[in-house]
Amino acid sequence: MYYTKASKDVKTAVSATQLTGTATATVSRGDYGLQIPSVPNVANVEEEVELIIDFVANAS
């Protein structure tokens, strides 16, 4: 199993037939050795990226 260095937050709601939620993680591209080339007036990439995942699981 792989664990990230990201800060994480998960919020969920549960009913008899469904699980829903939102997971948020902030990752630093430097933690993964990602380097963005420096090109003036072309791109500006932040060091941290926020990932947001909404999920739904239904009972079968």
Look at the chain and report how many structural domains it folds into. 1
Q: Are 58 and 17 in contact (CB under 8 A)?
A: yes
In a domain, 22, yes or no: yes
Question: Has residue 15 been placed in a domain?
Answer: yes
pLDDT in tens, the chain (60 residues): 445 565 678 899 999 999 999 999 888 888 888 887 777 776 677 888 888 999 999 998
Q: Say if 2 falls within a structural domain.
A: no
- Cα 33 off chain centre by: 17
User: Which DSSP letter does residue 41 get?
Assistant: T
Q: Is residue 1 part of a domain?
A: no
Give the three-class secondary structure for 9: strand
pTM of the model: 0.62
Range of the domain at 36: 7-58
21 part of a folded domain: yes
- State which H helix or E strand residue 56 sits in: strand 48-58
